[in-house]
Amino acid sequence: MCKVFIKMVRIIVAEETCAESIRTWRKQQEPVVGLILGKTTSTKDYIIKFVRCPAKSETSSKVLKIEDNWVAGHAVEVSHILPGGISVIGLFAVADPSSDKTLQSSLRQALYCTYSFINHSCPYKFPTSEGPKLWTVIHFDMTSGRSIFSKQFDMLDRVSSAKPVDLKYQQPCSRWSFLNSHVDIDITIPLAPLASTNVQCLQAMVWPFCDQILNSSVLLNGAMMNDSDMVDPEITVKSGKGHKQKHKQSTLAKWGKTHSCEFFLHNDDNESDQNGIDLSKASQCIKLCGSFYTCAYVPLKTPVSEAIEELKFDLIRSVFRRCSLVCEELQDQNRQLTSHQYVMFPRRVGFPKQNTDEFQFSEYQFHGEPLEDCVARIQETFDEAISVDDINNALEEFKQVKSTESVPKQDTQEMIDKDSQRKDVQIENGEMEEQAQFPIRALLAAGTAVLAVVLSYLSLAD
């Protein structure tokens, strides 16, 4: 008897709005390359949006030329906008079918380049699951709009062979649960002795804090859940004949429940951080205080452990992104972090506003920066037609800081002994006082790098 082996093809489910985007770009009769945004799971993948890469030059061309670094650089900028649980999972192209052979090779090369860029955009290395990491490439026919090829490649194996996938459209592509939280922070961290640049200083500060985030305990709606529990299990009810029927949990078919989460960071009682620096002997120290907003989207049948992990990853990425923005501003002004200065992080703003049938993404706004500038960046990077009215600027609030005089030695020693009674910084509802000893003040007066969270950088030496 002849045995027949059937090879299962992996399924990718895309939102109907993705097909509408392809139809719009086809009408323009110009080739397009862009990013696939969505969620990969062990069983199938979900696509929520196609984002077109901006043209490198204003001159139009009928021939699609993919530049790896340009596409990868744009993917990094887009990744900073995405909430937890949603990420770049591939590339697509809308082009003439005659370019099929060369285009597939170009897309594959750009795919690996994009993965490498994104993977190195955040210095913090997240725990990764075992097994292949599959990303997708799709070539759409510019004439008909149909998919000419849809394939996946393992990002952890550059010599892996392409795996065919079956692209389907469905509205919605999945039902989603939404998790969010505000994490209050008030910590003092010593700097590494060899931290000589802005980037090194800020990374030395946030690294142990991010370890605390990763190892923290998180409550869902005030309860500690088992890791194996489902975030939103589908409720079944018995019918009259004993059969079970699925019970809908929400009037909106696209959305499940919204879960309010609470973080509990496990503080280390030792007088040294995870880099082995003794707080009592440190010559320089950074204080981080304020509140961070974090959120994540996951499919309904997601284990609690995975959902919380996505929420933690979003918070860590957000912290490093804010550090990067501060460093860019300081570099533009040719300035270094110095003793006795206040630096405030950007705050997170969302778009579109909540209570819409869309995913909420985010951008970062500097203090004093008009929302119109945020809108312009979103329109350029995310290819999204939004207005100021679509921005939700209530996710985080700027802190009003009143600076104090230089802290006496006895006060700084008391701050070390009684960390909960820190006297190095006072946060009030007043304006920031003018202080000649704060070299960053001129930068703040120019309306730059002023933000939702306050960093107090101080000297513990005489």
Among 134, 153, 169, the domain-final residue is 169
Angle at which helices 304-332 and 198-214 cross, to 10°: 170
DSSP designation for 143: T
SS3 content of the chain, % helix, strand, coil (to 5): 30, 30, 40
Tell whether the model's pLDDT for residue 429 goes beyond 50. Answer: no
Q: Identify whether residues 142 and 243 lie together within a single domain.
A: no
218, β-bridge pairs = 263
Per the domain annotation, does 3 fall within a domain?
no
Mean pLDDT of 373-388: 92
Identify the burial level of 191 via C-beta atoms within 10 angstroms of its C-beta, where 0-12 means exposed, 13-18 middle and 19 or more buried.
buried
pLDDT score, position 442: 32
Q: Identify whether residues 347 and 202 lie together within a single domain.
A: yes
Q: Identify whether residues 165 and 198 lie together within a single domain.
A: no
Q: Identify whether residues 111 and 230 lie together within a single domain.
A: no
Q: Identify whether residues 331 and 382 lie together within a single domain.
A: yes
pLDDT score, position 191: 58
**pLDDT digits 0-9 by tens, 322-368:** 888 888 887 777 776 665 556 678 899 999 876 677 899 999 998 88
Mean pLDDT of 164-186: 91
Tell whether the model's pLDDT for residue 460 goes beyond 60. Answer: no
Tell whether the model's pLDDT for residue 260 goes beyond 50. Answer: yes
Per the domain annotation, does 5 fall within a domain?
no
Among 123, 138, 169, the domain-final residue is 169
Among 178-182, 204-208, 402-406, 446-450, the minimum mean pLDDT is found in: 446-450
Per the domain annotation, does 302 fall within a domain?
yes
Model pTM score: 0.81
Q: Which residue has the tokens 């090829």?
A: 149
Q: Identify whether residues 15 and 164 lie together within a single domain.
A: yes
Tell whether the model's pLDDT for residue 409 goes beyond 70. Answer: no
- Angle, CA 293 vertex, CA 329 and CA 427 arms, to 5°: 70
Element (H, E) at 365: strand 361-365
Per the domain annotation, does 4 fall within a domain?
no
Mean pLDDT of 108-118: 96
Q: Between residues 365 and 446, which one has the greater pLDDT?
A: 365
Per the domain annotation, does 250 fall within a domain?
yes
Q: Identify whether residues 159 and 250 lie together within a single domain.
A: no
Q: Identify whether residues 185 and 139 lie together within a single domain.
A: no
State the total domains in the chain.
Answer: 2
Q: Identify whether residues 183 and 162 lie together within a single domain.
A: no
Per the domain annotation, does 221 fall within a domain?
yes
Q: Identify whether residues 62 and 138 lie together within a single domain.
A: yes
Q: The domain spanning residue 33 has which CATH number?
A: 3.40.140.10
Q: Where do the H-state alpha helices sit in 61-169? A: 68-79, 100-121
Per the domain annotation, does 104 fall within a domain?
yes
Residue 425's pLDDT band (boundaries 50, 70, 90)? very low
Q: Between residues 117 and 456, which one has the greater pLDDT?
A: 117
Tell whether the model's pLDDT for residue 108 goes beyond 90. Answer: yes
pLDDT score, position 186: 75
Distance CA 131, CA 452 (A): 39
Per the domain annotation, does 165 fall within a domain?
yes
Q: Identify whether residues 163 and 194 lie together within a single domain.
A: no
Among 122, 141, 169, the domain-final residue is 169
Q: Which domain holds residue 26?
A: 10-169
Q: Identify whether residues 369 and 404 lie together within a single domain.
A: yes
pLDDT score, position 355: 65
